Amino acid sequence: MAIYRRLARRFGARHWWPAETPFEVAVGAVLTQNTAWTNVERAITNLRRARTLTPRALLRLPPARLAAHLRPSGYFNIKARRLRALVAWWARRGDPVVTTRHQPLAALRQELLAIPGVGPETADSILLYALGRPAFVVDAYTRRIFARHGWVSWDATYDELQQVFTRALPRRATLYNEYHALLVELGKRFCAKRRPRCDACPLRDVGTIRLEASAHALGITRRSI
DNA sequence: AGCCAGGACTGAG
DNA sequence: CTCAGTCATGGC
């Protein structure tokens, strides 16, 4: 866990996902798709001020009104539809924090993926940050950071990238939570697409750690992750 | 003025 | 199945 420890020492505990409740985490997970979080906050603020930030209130909202609230987060028409679908599931399950507690992770993940507009990252974000399940979240920063260092291929699939972490780390939601949050922090500060600051990157010299002949396909040692 | 941000889905080929 | 195109606002 050389990389994780280095990030943790640098950035400290993130206690991540800027939201008040599990439901708000789920809402944010949809709204932040390919979108800056600051824009998502405005949309969530709109929902809160309209007192529609609950499953039933949100489902009562006419689609056009919902889209209007979501406008600042971009893709507002699509996201209105996706959010409605997710919230319909949420309401149908009662409170998923409780009702899914004994459901196997794989089955629950499949259930989320079946909701239109919920892809692998959104599903894993909800599983991890709303439901406390050990689902490692892979995002654009994760791919960019690891590919730039040459630790994974640029065209590794989501599942391959995820396995890099799940095979190397103890299966603990609290660890996955912190790790992903740390990668986002690192990504924002040092691994922007446009202006990367690789010179100052805390992982700069990790690249020189000798990667032992690897037991698994993607060439990273358990020790390094 | 572009380019980018914590993706997912669709229709071609 | 791969992949370019699509969706859209706000910040730099």
* Token pair recorded at residue A146: 């690891």
**pLDDT at residue number A213:** 35
- Residue numbers in A 32-61, CB below 7 Å of strand C: 34-36, 38-39, 42
* Closest CA-bearing residue to C1' of C2: A155
Beta carbon of A29 within 7 Å of strand B?
Answer: yes
Beta carbon of A117 within 7 Å of strand B?
Answer: yes
- The CA angle A158-A71-A29, to the nearest 5 degrees, is 30
Give dist(CA A57, CA A51) in Å, integer: 7
Beta carbon of A117 within 7 Å of strand C?
Answer: no
In tens digits, chain A (225 residues) has pLDDT values of 789 999 999 999 998 998 889 999 999 999 999 999 999 999 999 999 999 999 999 999 999 999 999 999 999 999 999 999 999 999 999 999 999 999 999 999 999 999 999 999 999 999 999 999 999 999 999 999 999 999 999 999 999 999 999 999 999 999 999 999 999 999 999 999 999 999 999 999 886 444 433 445 556 777 789
Residues A118, A37, A189, A20, Cα dihedral to 10°: -90
A30 CA to B1 C1' distance (Å): 30
**pLDDT at residue number A212:** 39
Question: Could you give the C-alpha distances from A85 to A49, A80, A89, A167, A195, in angstroms and in order?
Answer: 22, 9, 6, 32, 37
Nucleotide nearest to A29 (CA to C1'): B6
Nucleotide nearest to A18 (CA to C1'): B6
A1 CA to C10 C1' distance (Å): 37
